[in-house]
Amino acid sequence: MAERQERTAPDAVLTRIGQVVMLHHAGDREEARRRLLDLWAELGEHGEPLHRCTLAHYLADTQDDPGDELAWDLRALSAADEAEGAEGLRGFYPSLHLNLAADYVKLGRTGAARTHLRRARGAAAAALGDDGYGDGVRAAISRLELRLGDDDTPDGDSWGPPRQRPN
């Protein structure tokens, strides 16, 4: 019985992260960033991968600088990779790769953006259900793919609006 309760008991760290995310969504980005950074310091670089992945994923959203946002999204992916096969993280990969693709677009690195969009699409096919969350992530992937167009230019080349395909 105690083992069953442990499995269903709420995760206090994830609850705390969720509370701060609600603060961020309510519009207090600076305070949310401060509190998330405090949690990061508390967890440390060697905390549970699920916690670090979730925390870094949301910390990225509070950053003003695209380079900082990329660094946090890379930390989130790294933590997810550490816990490969852990229950609950497989469904993160589409969003993690989508966020990295968006980060790379902001930094003008379209080749890297396309690489992560392909990974997001593949992860979405493997991990997401036919529900609101899955539909939303797939739609966001499609929107970013349309924005980037189908040109496979290397990193650093200028980004422009999607080109029309010839008839």
CB proximity list for 14: less than 8 A, separation 6 or greater: 50, 51, 54
Please choose, from the candidates 99, 92, 50, 51, the residue with its C-alpha nearest in 3D space to the C-alpha of residue 73. 99
- Mutual orientation of helices 93-106 and 49-61 as an angle, nearest 10°? 40
Residue with tokens 């509070």: 62
pLDDT given for residue 2 in this prediction = 45
pLDDT given for residue 33 in this prediction = 97
pLDDT given for residue 147 in this prediction = 92
Measure the CA–CA gap between 111 and 104, rounded to whole angstroms. 8
pLDDT given for residue 158 in this prediction = 37
Judge contact between 92 and 130, C-beta under 8 A: no
Structure tokens at 13: 């760290």
Measure the CA–CA gap between 15 and 120, rounded to whole angstroms. 26
- CA separation (Å) from 2 to 8, 12, 97? 10, 17, 37
Please indicate, yes or no, whether the overall pTM of this predicted structure exceeds 0.95: no
pLDDT given for residue 150 in this prediction = 59
Measure the CA–CA gap between 81 and 10, rounded to whole angstroms. 23
Low-confidence ranges of the chain (pLDDT < 70): 1-10, 84-88, 150-167
Q: What is the DSSP string of 57-80?
A: HHHHHT-SSHHHHHHHHHHHHHHH
